[in-house]
Structure 1
Amino acid sequence: MAQLSKEQIVESVPQKGFFGHPKGLFTLFFTEFWERFSYYGMRAILVFYMYYEVSKGGLGLSEPTALAIMSIYGSLVYMSGIIGGWLADRIFGTSKAVFYGGIFIMLGHIVLAFPGNLTMFFTSMVLIVLGTGLLKPNISSIVGDIYATHDNRRDSGFSVFYMGINMGGFLAPLTVGTIGLDYNFHLGFSLAAIGMFVGLITFLITKKNLGLAGTQIANPLSPTERKRFVKNLVIGVVVLVALLFITIPNGWLTFNSFIALVGILGFVIPFSYFFLMYRSPKTTADEKSRIIAYIPLFLAAVMFWAIAEQGSTILALYADKRTNLDAFGFHISPAWFQSLNPLFIITMAPVFAWLWIKLGKRQPSIPQKFSLGILFAGLSFIVILLPAYFGGTDKLVNPLWLALSIFILVIGELCLSPVGLSATTKLAPAAFSAQTMSLWFLSNAAAQALNAQLVKLYSDKTEMLYFGIIGGVAIVLSIILFAASPVIQRFMKGVH
């Protein structure tokens, strides 16, 4: 079958129908809304489920172990995106990847919905990791497919799409979090499973809005390559199972060594992909230049997500242990603080979407937006250390401090995250479109692999030092990136 051009795919999508955007944005918006409701609902209670005592319905793990597992789990969720991107690019296309991924995620939450042991817990984690790896990068790639290359609505469209993500993320901690913490963890996980089921139904019913977007396999395997892939897959599974049977009983593969391994892979895998894409004969000279430009943006994203993703680890613990939860005349659930980030994004995303369109060609360049993103991320950590500076670490903190820190982070997130999604679709080599979107999500994987080591350093005694050093490093890097922006822009070869 002949490959369709970008123009043919765009022409198959109704271009008016969802707030001035292509009609297919409706399908992607609500599919991602329910997937994020499912994911963030589960995540809102997961760390509490791990370290709460068994008598309270938890697993009874230690707090440091729970925080490290949470970070490693988050890293693997995004690391698996490279597999999902490869499968979409080479075997079944992005649309099927989204659907198959949703099924795995739903099954993972169903396993969590039943009371069980650590074996069931880790089984659910594997299913969710695989499912998110298939769905998350590929649905974002389809968003890029429904817009023409030079369509000025693209950045605005990603901001609208990003708002859908955060609407799901806002509602999830309030509903799943409340049910999970106030009633029963497993009822909360059941609600997350229902959310993913609704997302799958939404995708199936409205998929016609996407036209041909997501149906084309960008770089399909030849029959010979397909046979080799099946052979290597079988061998790989057999070798992996054998290694597990050997290393675990002998004590060679421990929890700490696994964390270290994931930490190394978090950086080795993305830079291996940079190297392979750059050296590929399918990558043109201009595309190679754009890959070079993408590397500092990737590193900036790692710094940003290293701070942002601590909302479900260190800041979740901070909300539970360090924050006055009986302020303002009523009791606040610690899970509710995880709704603040998406709430602020829902409020501010339309403002930023309008701002980029209003500024047009006068808006900051992509590297400059990234530098602003990590600047505000750094400031958010500087703000959260102030209560300890003024009042010490032995007093409960007014919840407004935590809310202010999250708000400052959101300003940075809106400068970096939706812009990063859009920039990835623009800078991606044609033969690696879905895989480059997976590479973008590997910035989050690398960040959380790094966090698995960093969270061990946090305690009441190190609180100020912890927030101060990480926040300070982010601010310094933002200044360096802003200064280097003109050079990076030249390597982007006309992409703005």
Structure 2
Amino acid sequence: MGQPRGLATLFLTETWERFSYYGMRAILIYYMIQAVQYGGLGFDQTTAASIMSIYGSLVYMTGVIGGWLSDRIWGSRRTVFIGGVLIMLGHIALSIPGGTPALFSSIGLIVIGTGLLKPNISAIIGGLYSETDRRRDAGFSLFVFGANFGAAVAPIVVPWASDGFGIKLFGSHIDYHAGFALAAIGMFFGLLQYYFDGKKYLPSNGLYPKDPIERENLRPIITWSLIVVIAIAAVFGLLAITGNLNIESVIWLITIVAIAIPVVYFTTMLNSRKVNKVEKSRVWAYIPLFIASAMFWAIEESGSTILALFAANRTVLHLGGWHFQPANFQILNPLFIMLLTPLFIVIWSRWKNQPSAPGKFSGGLMIAGLSYVFIALPGLLYGTDGKVSPLWLVGSWFIVEIAEMLISPIGLSVTTKLAPKAFTAQMISMWMLSDSVGQAVNAQIVKFYTPGTEVQYFLAVGGASILLGLILLLFTKPIHKLMAGVD
């Protein structure tokens, strides 16, 4: 398709990584809420949804660490490989019947591993193109297509591996661990492909840090790292002493941290001597795009939480003679992206006077909000006591994926273009942090979702997204001016 050969290497690596992640995610919430005697952990649905959201938040939050390690110590290529190994170990932990301890051990490994891998694999793609290369947006769109191909196969194959036919949510005993093991195998194949193919086709500058840390600067970093670790231990100790050390308080703490980190990071970049005047203007332009992205991801990432529960509790699980399981709905997200990606590649390649990135973000936010308005309609029309056609979920997912095509690949591309030179990989981490913030907020607001509040929940969140999209539309021109020559 006229793209650099290295894109194929990263395309396939991301395909396998997303297969492993989305395969695990397709069944994880059901594993948590399933009764212990049927092979689950027996969590209540609200707690499981909050854990899923904060899990997703942590996955993207640790991208900050991955970006820093890449820029200052390891280089992007080595950081990606180490992250993949940790992800594989995390899936292996879940494949062992270890109950709640295995769950949280797995979360820890996958959180750190994805934080190392995700921002840096995107940064490597950015390095395949010059800032003025018109193939750039199409290249990122192809990369996103690869990610979603792996994510589309996983919700069918991994649930099938759990018991041979998919998850019987409230039925017989299920071997979830077989599904988690398959996710680990997927990541293993991704690592093999990345290691051997990467030697031939990836740029060698990814082997070295862009801003290597000097020895005299290493001591204060170690000191501050120890201070952070001690502070975290002190907070957990205080919670334990006061009798508040529980899942809910930990989720609240992580939510606060998720929101605070981007504030600190933006402040650091705007005050850094390594960032020149033009780069600072571009960082200012990025802030409203970051906020818009967080709002979008709060809706889009609800597929594994709110919409997963809607699929299990409120949806008829057959269409004519075709029967399916709640986990299978997770295929809709990547499937629609794969169907829409070729169309949008053509649009971006041929549309000469296309909207700027802020304009695309504005449209994406309003469309994302409409997806929640759409899924509120069955509750308005028929009430929330019974079950409704699966086509409502299909329609909602289709609408939000149109929004994703306006935000996700465009956001990745514009992030690499607006990034200050000294913060290249770390700026990609900021893009990941917008997802982290959105899911951290979700971890709190999912508590308000019940059958009785279903309609109000969808209309309130969807309405907020539409309103924010309209506000962003009003400020499109000033934001584009701050972007200082970046389209």
TM-score by length of 2: 0.96
1:132 deviates by 0.4
1:154 aligned onto 2:136: yes
1:401 aligned onto 2:392: yes
State how far apart, in whole Å, the 1-side matches of 2:230 and 2:86 are.
22
For residue 422 of structure 1, what is the aligned residue in structure 2? 413
State how far apart, in whole Å, the 2-side matches of 1:228 and 1:351 are.
50
For residue 16 of structure 1, what is the aligned residue in structure 2? none
State how far apart, in whole Å, the 1-side matches of 2:241 and 2:32 are.
24
1:85 aligned onto 2:43: no
Alpha carbons of structure 1 residues 238 and 489: separation in structure 2 relative to 1, 3 Å: closer
* 1:145-170 alpha-carbon deviations (Å, 9 max, x no partner): 11011100000000000000100110
1:250 deviates by 4.3
For residue 351 of structure 1, what is the aligned residue in structure 2? 343
- 2:462 aligned to 468, 471, 478, which one? 471
Alpha carbons of structure 1 residues 188 and 242: separation in structure 2 relative to 1, 3 Å: same
Query: What aligned pairs does 1:370-409 form with structure 2 within 5 A after superposition?
Result: 370-409=361-400
1:486 aligned onto 2:477: yes
State how far apart, in whole Å, the 1-side matches of 2:183 and 2:224 are.
35
Identical aligned residues as a percent: 51
- 2:291 aligned to 277, 294, 299, which one? 299
For residue 436 of structure 1, what is the aligned residue in structure 2? 427
Structure 1: gaps of 5 or more residues: 1-18
Contact 1:49/1:59, CA 8 A, preserved across alignment: yes
1:313 aligned onto 2:305: yes
Which amino acid is the alignment partner of residue 311 of structure 2?
A: A
Contact 1:178/1:335, CA 8 A, preserved across alignment: no
**Secondary structure at 2:24 match in 1:** helix
* 1:329-377 alpha-carbon deviations (Å, 9 max, x no partner): 13211111110110010011011011101013x1111000101111111
State how far apart, in whole Å, the 1-side matches of 2:288 and 2:223 are.
37
State how far apart, in whole Å, the 2-side matches of 1:243 and 1:159 are.
42
* 1:277-300 alpha-carbon deviations (Å, 9 max, x no partner): 000000010000001100000000
For residue 124 of structure 1, what is the aligned residue in structure 2? 106
1:283 aligned onto 2:275: yes
State how far apart, in whole Å, the 1-side matches of 2:210 and 2:361 are.
28
Contact 2:318/2:390, CA 8 A, preserved across alignment: no
**Secondary structure at 2:452 match in 1:** coil
Query: What aligned pairs does 1:25-424 form with structure 2 within 5 A after superposition?
Result: 25-180=7-162, 181=167, 183-207=174-198, 208-234=200-226, 236-237=228-229, 240-241=232-233, 244-245=236-237, 247-248=239-240, 250-360=242-352, 362-424=353-415
1:224 deviates by 1.5
1:247 deviates by 3.6
1:265 deviates by 1.4
* 1:52-108 alpha-carbon deviations (Å, 9 max, x no partner): 101111000111110111111111111111111111111111111100000000000
1:238 deviates by 5.3
1:243 deviates by 5.1
1:229 deviates by 3.1
**Secondary structure at 2:48 match in 1:** helix
Contact 2:286/2:418, CA 8 A, preserved across alignment: yes
**Secondary structure at 2:207 match in 1:** coil
1:246 deviates by 5.5
**Secondary structure at 1:260 match in 2:** helix
Contact 2:281/2:483, CA 8 A, preserved across alignment: yes
> Larger deviation: 418-427 or 240-249?
240-249
> Larger deviation: 315-324 or 233-242?
233-242
1:326 deviates by 2.5
1:211 deviates by 2.5
**Secondary structure at 1:20 match in 2:** coil
State how far apart, in whole Å, the 2-side matches of 1:198 and 1:416 are.
29
Which amino acid is the alignment partner of residue 358 of structure 1?
A: R
State how far apart, in whole Å, the 2-side matches of 1:289 and 1:402 are.
41
Contact 1:293/1:492, CA 8 A, preserved across alignment: yes
Contact 1:45/1:185, CA 8 A, preserved across alignment: yes
Alpha carbons of structure 1 residues 246 and 174: separation in structure 2 relative to 1, 3 Å: same
Which amino acid is the alignment partner of residue 374 of structure 2?
A: V
* 1:435-477 alpha-carbon deviations (Å, 9 max, x no partner): 0000111001101110011100001110110000111111111
Alpha carbons of structure 1 residues 175 and 75: separation in structure 2 relative to 1, 3 Å: same
1:448 aligned onto 2:439: yes
> Larger deviation: 269-278 or 210-219?
210-219
Contact 1:146/1:213, CA 8 A, preserved across alignment: no
Which amino acid is the alignment partner of residue 16 of structure 2?
A: W
State how far apart, in whole Å, the 2-side matches of 1:449 and 1:393 are.
27
* 1:22-77 alpha-carbon deviations (Å, 9 max, x no partner): 01001110000000000000000010000010111100011111011111111111
State how far apart, in whole Å, the 2-side matches of 1:213 and 1:380 are.
42
State how far apart, in whole Å, the 2-side matches of 1:239 and 1:429 are.
31
State how far apart, in whole Å, the 2-side matches of 1:392 and 1:112 are.
38
For residue 6 of structure 1, what is the aligned residue in structure 2? none
For residue 171 of structure 2, what is the aligned residue in structure 1? none
Q: Cα RMSD between the aligned structures?
A: 1.4
1:251 deviates by 1.9
State how far apart, in whole Å, the 1-side matches of 2:452 and 2:161 are.
33
State how far apart, in whole Å, the 2-side matches of 1:359 and 1:215 are.
36
Which amino acid is the alignment partner of residue 106 of structure 1?
A: M
State how far apart, in whole Å, the 1-side matches of 2:458 and 2:419 are.
34
Contact 1:142/1:213, CA 8 A, preserved across alignment: no
Equivalent pairs counted in the alignment come to 477
Which amino acid is the alignment partner of residue 177 of structure 1?
A: P
1:111 deviates by 0.5
For residue 3 of structure 1, what is the aligned residue in structure 2? none
State how far apart, in whole Å, the 2-side matches of 1:236 and 1:296 are.
29
State how far apart, in whole Å, the 2-side matches of 1:381 and 1:272 are.
32
1:252 deviates by 3.7
